[in-house]
Structure 1
Amino acid sequence: MIERHSIGRPVAHVMLVLGIVIVAFPIYYTFMASTQTLQAILRPPLPLTPGGEFTENYGQALFGGIGRIGGVNVWTLMFNTTVMALGIAVGKIVISILSAFAIVFFRFPLRMTFFWLIFITLMLPVEVRILPTYKVMVDRGMIDTYAGLILPLIASATATLLFRQFFMTIPSELVEAARVDAAGPMRFFWDILIPLSKTNIAALFVILFIYGWTQYLWPLLVTNDNQMNTIVIALKKMVSFADADTPWHLVMVTSILAIVPPVLVVVLMQRWFVRGLVEAEK
């Protein structure tokens, strides 16, 4: 038993290090490319050591603008993407938790029918209903607006289901105690349910923020103005069929900057995210 343990631990560490190298090397390679000149990138092999163009490349991308996307700088792209990702994440959580609260703690006709109607929308993602949704956005004048980017993606049947399942585990004695203390529905919601749900909210926020940050198809359709592009759409526009026409040094800079906000969200909320998944407090 001891021998197996002494052998298994180094093997586990080697596998862990190997996995980290496999995952991290493309990011390292991209970062090295972001510090090189365009000529160095087009002339393989690419050096695996930092180049001397870090300040120039990052300064041009962040403040000077990128020609292939109408001179828009990366700050604008990141702001647009952040607004979209935050709007989607917060909107989905707010709507889902209120929907689950109504379904679990209120008794009204066709309560379960409404729940199953919400659940059925899992079979209707935005890709399925994209044409009528786009028509609504055009008719309402929401093309090239933040509302047009966010509203069609703001509902989540999955989050509603998760909150419902959690709310059903709350003891009925807790609900009765709130009634005895003369707590109304919204006070019960704010003072009891929200604190109990904070790990679920944190876990869902991380997942939904990344979901919103990486959206491609819907922003591609609903934004025509380069100033309203998200960073994922801008990356696609920056890449040309001909390598010589693509500013690869700026593409690499934009790629590195595009992964920073999601990584920060995951790192800063890692503890809450894990606790929300494993339900350690429940």
Structure 2
Amino acid sequence: MVENKPWLTALAHLVLILGVIAVAFPVYVALIASTRAPDEFMSGLIPLVPGPHALQTYWELLTTGASTSGAPPLGPMMLNSLVMALIIATGKIAISILSAFAIVYFRFPFRQFFFWMIFITLMLPVEVRILPTFKVVADLGMLNSYLGLTVPLLASATATFLFRQFFLTVPDELLEAARVDGAGPMKFFRDILLPLSQTNIAALFVILFIYGWNQYLWPLLVTTDTGYYTIVMAIKRMADVADGLPYWNYVMAAAVLSMLPPVLVIIVMQKLFVKGLVETEK
């Protein structure tokens, strides 16, 4: 039995408030730093109120870029990151849900063997197989292209495993009813499994979108043309200055801008995301 005591409620709220402050304070400092002059944070004192340079800093980053830090305009780079994240998220989900559907509902030789071969690839992330993957991409002429940025990252053993586990919980009576009604495999998949998988798809989309948005190492390897740079690469370039100190107002402004699309995706899909993670009964 859960005790209903006022001091326990107050303590729980205090812990939550402290947790929010601990998480949000660095974001607030980054926001404040982006509105200040570049030398104000070098004095050792951190201002806690906004400065007068917010519009100028963000406008320069989005239109002309930070020439002092060697970074092109952030607008096209944010678009590249958005395209990359969307292709990776939708591609991983499409491939994984079809793979899980085939493994669960079709009977063919070595079905479980192929599933475990897919599952074993969890031990081989891009960082482990980066040299052969890069060679294949280079030989196919996919450097400096959206295909090179996304295709090597499309397969997902984790998503395949999660969809497989969910499909195993779907009652067999639904499959039998679909057969009685004359529905073929793809109609059963489209009309029954896809609607039932809506919350799982939403939860995976949020996770995979953030995964694709935050990619740094692979885009760094396959892009030499500034037209295919991503926002994460821009932040790294601005923070690494060979001579002199970084322009922290530009760095912090880029960090704030890079947080906006993932936060927007989470806000829009919050209900489905939480439901997909905690729902146990379908």
Q: Which runs of 5+ in 2 are unaligned?
A: none
Residues 135-174 of structure 1 aligned to structure 2 (within 5 Å):
135-174=135-174
Residues 89-168 of structure 1 aligned to structure 2 (within 5 Å):
89-168=89-168
How far apart in 2 are the matches of 1:249 and 1:13?
A: 34
Contact 1:70 1:226 in 2 (8 A): no
- Equivalent residue letter for 1:84: M
How far apart in 2 are the matches of 1:69 and 1:219?
A: 19
Q: Give, in angstroms, the shift of residue 241 of structure 1.
A: 4.7
Q: Give, in angstroms, the shift of residue 55 of structure 1.
A: 0.9
- Is 2:215 the partner of 1:215? yes
- Runs (4+) of structure 1 exceeding 4 A deviation are 1-4, 68-71
Q: CA separation of 1:278/1:243 partners in 2, compared to 1, >3 Å: closer, same or farther? A: farther
Q: Give, in angstroms, the shift of residue 100 of structure 1.
A: 0.3
2:203 aligned residue: 203
* Aligned sequence identity (%): 58
Contact 1:68 1:237 in 2 (8 A): no
2:11 aligned residue: 11
Q: CA separation of 1:66/1:233 partners in 2, compared to 1, >3 Å: closer, same or farther? A: same
Residue 244 of structure 2 aligns to a residue whose secondary structure is helix
Q: Give, in angstroms, the shift of residue 281 of structure 1.
A: 4.7
Q: CA separation of 1:281/1:73 partners in 2, compared to 1, >3 Å: closer, same or farther? A: farther
Contact 2:63 2:73 in 1 (8 A): yes
Q: Give, in angstroms, the shift of residue 247 of structure 1.
A: 2.0
Q: TM-score, normalised by structure 1?
A: 0.96
2:269 aligned residue: 269
Q: Deviations over 1:132-169 (max 9, x none)?
A: 00001110111111110101110000100100010011
How far apart in 2 are the matches of 1:132 and 1:77?
A: 27
Deviates more, 1:239-248 or 1:186-195: 239-248
Q: TM-score, normalised by structure 2?
A: 0.96
How far apart in 1 are the matches of 2:187 and 2:69?
A: 49
- Is 2:232 the partner of 1:229? no
2:278 aligned residue: 278
Q: Give, in angstroms, the shift of residue 41 of structure 1.
A: 2.7
Q: Which runs of 5+ in 1 are unaligned?
A: none
- Equivalent residue letter for 1:159: A
Q: CA separation of 1:189/1:3 partners in 2, compared to 1, >3 Å: closer, same or farther? A: closer
Residues 49-128 of structure 1 aligned to structure 2 (within 5 Å):
49-67=49-67, 70=70, 72-128=72-128
How far apart in 2 are the matches of 1:68 and 1:124?
A: 39
How far apart in 1 are the matches of 2:129 and 2:189?
A: 33
Q: Deviations over 1:147-195 (max 9, x none)?
A: 1010111000010010001001111111000000000111111100000
